[in-house]
Amino acid sequence: DQQVKQNSPSLSVQEGRISILNCDYTNSMFDYFLWYKKYPAEGPTFLISISSIKDKNEDGRFTVFLNKSAKHLSLHIVPSQPGDSAVYFCAARENTNAGKSTFGDGTTLTVKP
Amino acid sequence: GEEVAQTPKHLVRGEGQKAKLYCAPIKGHSYVFWYQQVLKNEFKFLISFQNENVFDETGMPKERFSAKCLPNSPCSLEIQATKLEDSAVYFCASSQSRRGGRNQPQHFGDGTRLSIL
């Protein structure tokens, strides 16, 4: 049973527009959520995170929104740039800093010039 | 160092041979994690350490897989008697202790691609 799901395997957007990547989870014990970006042949790079006590966290062009009641989070990238083209992973953790992350299957974002 | 360093980048072994992978966490990070990526995008948690102590090994296969994090040495993941199904990219990640009550993200290395022939 997959506890973190990214239902869109791919997303294509035009440069300058907004990219919205979605993630759903089922485990109500998750209370810390992260987004990672991954290029081929490299490890995931941490982008942004959000604690369950918040519903929004913003860092530059990246904003993560959390809807606890719907068990849904999303990553907004605005404006999108061609360099943002990568695989984006949503991850979730239970309330322990030493806890393992449970990952979604990723969404491949392509930003067209 | 400032990055998680994994060696080697690529390891090729014949079925039945031993494979050993290494990970140097970011200096000052107390936690180390190993993940296995078999299919293109699926990350499977294997094991985590708090300093040199095993914290969570619920993802480790019962046989053939072992891991260590010894003081003043890179952490290691060892697979005895490798099988074709062990072919995967193995990622190591490290994280700091919680600061000011705030969770800290895991930072990943670039992985070791293990190919079993």
Write out pLDDT tens, residues B59-77.
999 899 999 999 889 999 9
pLDDT in tens, chain A (113 residues): 789 999 999 999 999 999 999 999 999 999 999 999 999 999 999 999 999 999 999 999 999 999 999 999 999 999 999 999 999 999 999 866 567 899 999 999 999 99
Q: Which pLDDT score, from 0 to 100, does residue A110 have? A: 98
Low-confidence ranges of chain B (pLDDT < 50): none
Note the pLDDT of residue B103.
Answer: 78
Other CB atoms within a 10 A radius of the CB of residue A31 amount to 19
pLDDT of residue B1: 64
- Looking at residue B72, what is its pLDDT? 87
3-state SS, residue B48: strand
Element containing residue B84 per DSSP (H, E): none
Q: Does B65 touch chain A (CB under 8 A)?
A: no
* Nearest to A53, CA basis, from A32, A72, A23, A24: A32
Phi, psi of A82 (to 5 degrees): -55, -35
Tokens 């360099």 — which residue? A83
| pLDDT of A99 | 78
* Residue to substitute from B60, B103, B110, interface A, most A β-carbons within 10 A: B103
Q: What is the pLDDT of residue B39?
A: 75
Res A30: pLDDT: 92
B15: closest CA of chain A, how far (Å): 24
pLDDT recorded at residue B101: 62
**Yes or no, beta carbons of B50 and A98 under 8 Å apart:** yes
